[in-house]
Amino acid sequence: MIIQILITLFVLFALSRVVIRFRAGEMTPRECLFWFFFWVVVGGVGVYPNVASWLAIALGVGRGADAIVYVALLAIFYILFRIFTRIERIERNITALVREIALRDARHGHDHEQAKK
């Protein structure tokens, strides 16, 4: 089926991006492993849609496709939440850095004034 070929090609592309980013040092080994596993699972479900049907039966959802949509939605919300919290942490770190520079400059200015006196 064409859809299976397309999914496989996309998963191969995503896996190559994971490897490239890991090699460039932009990912920790743990992150690399997580995303590698994630795309392998996506590829597996794409190539063997029956897996989704088993999942649907296990979850008590009618069809395999529905199970995929539910799981994907949950995953997307979780990833969004993680991204939000990470951005927030980065913002706070930047503020801490800017504050430290401002305070250090202020201390230096004070030292200069004392030296002039």
| Options 1-9, 15-23, 39-47, 87-95: segment touching another protein (CB under 8 A) | 87-95
Count the Cβ atoms, other than its own, within 10 Å of residue 58.
9
At position 33, the amino acid (one-letter code) is L
User: Is there binding between residue 102 and another protein (CB under 8 A)?
Assistant: yes
Which of 20, 57, 73, 98 binds another protein (CB under 8 A)? It is 98
3-state class (DSSP) for residue 62:
coil
CB neighbour burial string for 33-47, b if at least 16 within 10 angstroms, e if fewer: eebbebbeebbebbe
Size of site (CB under 8 A) for another protein: 16
| Options 29-37, 49-57, 65-73, 102-110: segment touching another protein (CB under 8 A) | 102-110
Length of the chain: 117
Write out the residues near another protein by the rule CB under 8 A.
81, 84-85, 88, 91-92, 94-95, 98-99, 101-103, 105-106, 109
